[in-house]
Amino acid sequence: MPTYITTPIYYVNAQPHLGHAYTTIITDTYSRFRRLAGDTVRFQTGTDEHGEKIAEAAAKADSSPRAYVDTIAALFQETWPLLNVQPDYIIRTTDANHVETVQRILDQVHRQGDIYFSEYAGLYCRGCERFLTDKELVEGKCPDHLVEPEPIAEQNYFFRMSKYQDWLIDHIKKHPEFITPERYRNEVLAFLDEPLEDLCISRPTSRLTWGIPLPFDRNFVTYVWFDALINYLTGIGYPDDPLFTEYWPVAEHVIAKDILKPHAIYWPTMLKSMGLEPFRRLHVHGYWNVDSTKMSKSLGNVIRPRELVEEYGVDPVRYFLLREMSFGLDASFSSDAILARQNADLANDLGNLFSRSLTMIGKYAQGRLPRLGTDLLQEGDRELQEALQHMATEYAAEMNAFRFHKALQKVWEVISLLNRYIVVNAPWELAKEPHQQARLQTVLALLGGSLWMIAVVLKPVMPETAEKMARALGMEEAFSSATLDKVGNWEAVPPEATLAEVPQLFPRMEKKKEAAAPPQGTKKAAASGLIDFAQFKALELRVAQVKAAQAVKKSDRLLKLTLNAPEERTVVAGIAQSYTPEELIDKKVVLVANLQPAKLMGIVSEGMVLAAKEPLEDGTERLRLLFVDPAMSPGSTIS
């Protein structure tokens, strides 16, 4: 069976980041999975290089568009090997074969009367590179770019998209798999409840020259979305290449929710107009945030794939991204979250299981995986075998449906079962009993066989780790040609393999000290006056109760406070002109608990208390402490 799977083609106005990495890693994983299932696969990614945004970015970088797109496209291409992503074809919309395909399609659609010339006045968002409808605006602004769109009136060419509205609704309703997860299918159907407008597909060269010239009017270039979507056809040689005949009927696209409308509405109607079948499936995922905040250049919290891989290693990054995001929903990236997965799921559950099992096979079976004698199986053994068969079926179903987090959950259920199986069967005890030797060999054979199957299902997700596992099991040769149907099939476990040295699959990782590694983007954030969430979290704010307060000798400004936080703290505060010591007793205040101690009038102050200050007209200031609800206990954290 053929599989054709694509990522969006990424704009070259920004460098690759976590979001691009995620989409491309899941597409790579899916393509490796389909290969494992026996398909011939074509996996395509690429870069979107025309349009206003790119022209502007090039101008900003003081570069010609051509030189600029070459530089950034190269950055994308260099990123994929770092992530172990192996596309079969990387397209650039500035490639000659793409320009030719776009012009050929424009000519065809124009000739058959689906493109017309007209005047248009509307609200244009430069960020989206499209006109927005009134309904899409939130408080008069584009909800994605938070800017007011500009009113623009000009003559342009239009694609008769509205003509295909009824057909599209019908197609979506008849094919539940066309757009998934369902929430996005519903979103598209709701949008199609309103009459669809025709699509403006040109830009006058007076305003933009960095685009593909319209073949029938050289005063215009092609609108970037009409150009970009066609990449999915160019890459397989539309219309004459045999690749096109083989792969177009099975085309699947992977995108995030931001570009749902062009893919779910523009693209199928364009295809219909060309007389082609629409793609088979559109997989839509949510957005990655960072520490629960939108990732953005201005916040200085953009995560770069190269830095991630350098810090955690490629397989933990791939595993984390697939396991952490419920496909279709947003997810939050944080170093705590990735460390937790690395230590618990990888180092502990899988890594320990692997090294324990192999060490025992080394010790109790002289490093050769015993053959499984079916006559000796006990109930727990059969349960384990069934669990692996079950895992194989469920894993395949979830991977096919793009529910990677669920597929991995299924694998980890078996990993937990295997860890329990070791405890229950205690091979080290069996080894002490001469009459239990056959039993011991069965337990070891089942452990080794199970680990082989786990290596096979992990191959699409963590290719390097899976190969390491197979090598250590002495099954490297069988592994390179392994197929999914071998999982759950005990006859297919490579027989009597000789184990190699036991590797450590994943090191346990410690949390980096903030001081040693300032949070990413700190420099940029400092320049913009913003701090990121990690910097805010570095402040330790706590509720503290005033146990005693007294004036500081020779100072009319300072009070010495003794606080219960809940350990005792002395804090010197400049509040003597606003409070008497008596009125502060038992009050609960906000303490900055991790401030370096400082000496004030000979007294060591171990922190500070927070207050609001307001300058008054007479040149003095009003100062009031921040009091906390008395119900809160001393020491409570504030965040």
Q: Smaller CB distance to ligand MSP: residue 229 or 499?
A: 229
Per-residue three-class SS string for 338-356: HHHHHHHHHHHHHHHHHHH
What amino acid occupies position 348? N
Minimum CB separation from ligand MSP for residue 123, in Å?
20
Site string for ligand MSP, 39-68 (x = CB under 6 A): ---------x--------------------
Catalytic residue among 60, 173, 294, 511: 294
Does 449 sit near ligand MSP (CB under 6 A)? no
Minimum CB separation from ligand MSP for residue 10, in Å?
4
Q: How many CB atoms lie within 10 A of CB 376?
A: 13
Minimum CB separation from ligand MSP for residue 161, in Å?
16
Q: Smaller CB distance to ligand MSP: residue 265 or 353?
A: 265
Does 10 sit near ligand MSP (CB under 6 A)? yes
Does 11 sit near ligand MSP (CB under 6 A)? yes
Three-state DSSP state, 3: strand
Among candidate residues 223, 168, 224, 161, the one with its CA nearest the CA of residue 198: 161
Q: Which residues contact 370 (CB under 8 A, 6 or more apart)?
A: 441, 442, 444, 445, 448, 496
What amino acid occupies position 43? F
Does 258 sit near ligand MSP (CB under 6 A)? yes
Residue-wise burial string across 46-84, b where 16 or more C-beta atoms lie within 10 A, e elsewhere: bbbbbbbbbbebbeeeeeebeebbeebbeebbebbebbb
DSSP 209-223: -SSPEETTEEEEEE-
Instruction: Answer yes or no: 297 catalytic.
Output: yes
Binding ligand MSP (rule: CB under 6 A), the pick from 106, 270, 295, 309 is 295
In whole angstroms, what is the distance from residue 214 CA to residue 201 CA?
10
Catalytic residue among 53, 110, 125, 468: 125
Minimum CB separation from ligand MSP for residue 355, in Å?
35
Minimum CB separation from ligand MSP for residue 556, in Å?
54
Minimum CB separation from ligand MSP for residue 483, in Å?
30
Does 318 sit near ligand MSP (CB under 6 A)? no
Token pair listed for 260: 């749902």
Instruction: Answer yes or no: 142 catalytic.
Output: yes
Residues touching ligand MSP, count (CB under 6 A)? 19
Minimum CB separation from ligand MSP for residue 516, in Å?
27
Stretch that binds ligand MSP, among 196-204, 228-236, 488-496, 545-553 (CB under 6 A): 228-236
Among candidate residues 458, 448, 249, 470, the one with its CA nearest the CA of residue 368: 448
In whole angstroms, what is the distance from residue 230 CA to residue 227 CA?
6
What amino acid occupies position 3? T
Q: Smaller CB distance to ligand MSP: residue 19 or 427?
A: 19
In whole angstroms, what is the distance from residue 447 CA to residue 358 CA?
9
What amino acid occupies position 139? E
| DSSP summary character for residue 264 | I
Q: Report the half-sphere exposure of 503 (CA within 13 A, side-chain side).
A: 14
Q: Smaller CB distance to ligand MSP: residue 4 or 506?
A: 4
Site string for ligand MSP, 556-595 (x = CB under 6 A): ----------------------------------------
Residues 194-223 within binding reach of ligand MSP (CB under 6 A): none
**206 — phi, psi (to 5°)?**
-65, -25
Does 9 sit near ligand MSP (CB under 6 A)? yes
Binding ligand MSP (rule: CB under 6 A), the pick from 106, 256, 322, 628 is 256
Does 22 sit near ligand MSP (CB under 6 A)? yes
Residues 230-249 within binding reach of ligand MSP (CB under 6 A): 231
Minimum CB separation from ligand MSP for residue 180, in Å?
15
Stretch that binds ligand MSP, among 19-27, 28-36, 192-200, 553-561 (CB under 6 A): 19-27
Stretch that binds ligand MSP, among 252-260, 464-472, 524-532, 613-621 (CB under 6 A): 252-260
Residue nearest to ligand MSP (CB): 19
Q: How do 637-638 and 621-625 pair as beta strands?
A: unpaired
Instruction: Answer yes or no: 50 catalytic.
Output: no
Instruction: Answer yes or no: 20 catalytic.
Output: yes
Minimum CB separation from ligand MSP for residue 372, in Å?
44
Does 229 sit near ligand MSP (CB under 6 A)? yes
Catalytic residue among 20, 253, 272, 285: 20
In whole angstroms, what is the distance from residue 456 CA to residue 395 CA?
11
Catalytic residue among 60, 173, 175, 297: 297
Binding ligand MSP (rule: CB under 6 A), the pick from 3, 19, 364, 460 is 19
Q: Smaller CB distance to ligand MSP: residue 30 or 479?
A: 30
Element (H, E) at 316: helix 314-324
Q: Where are the beta strands (DSSP E) in 112-196?
A: 115-125, 130-132, 150-159, 179-180
Q: Where are the alpha helices (DSSP H) in 9-160?
A: 18-36, 52-60, 65-82, 96-111
Q: Where are the alpha helices (DSSP H) in 459-602?
A: 463-472, 476-480, 522-528, 533-537, 581-584
Stretch that binds ligand MSP, among 74-82, 226-234, 440-448, 593-601 (CB under 6 A): 226-234
- Largest distance between two CA atoms of the chain: 96
Minimum CB separation from ligand MSP for residue 476, in Å?
35
Does 23 sit near ligand MSP (CB under 6 A)? yes
Stretch that binds ligand MSP, among 4-12, 308-316, 429-437, 482-490 (CB under 6 A): 4-12
Does 264 sit near ligand MSP (CB under 6 A)? no
Contact 627, 575 (CB under 8 A): no
| Rg, Å, the chain Cα set | 31
DSSP 376-416: G--HHHHHHHHHHHHHHHHHHHHHHTT-HHHHHHHHHHHHH
Does 287 sit near ligand MSP (CB under 6 A)? yes
Does 8 sit near ligand MSP (CB under 6 A)? yes
Minimum CB separation from ligand MSP for residue 399, in Å?
19
The reply to whether omega before 213 is within 30° of 0 (cis) is no
Catalytic residue among 60, 145, 363, 511: 145
Q: Which residues contact 480 (CB under 8 A, 6 or more apart)?
A: none
> Where along the sequence are the contacts to ligand MSP (CB under 6 A)?
8-11, 19-20, 22-23, 48, 228-229, 231, 255-256, 258-259, 287-288, 295
Active site residues: 17, 20, 125, 128, 142, 145, 294, 297
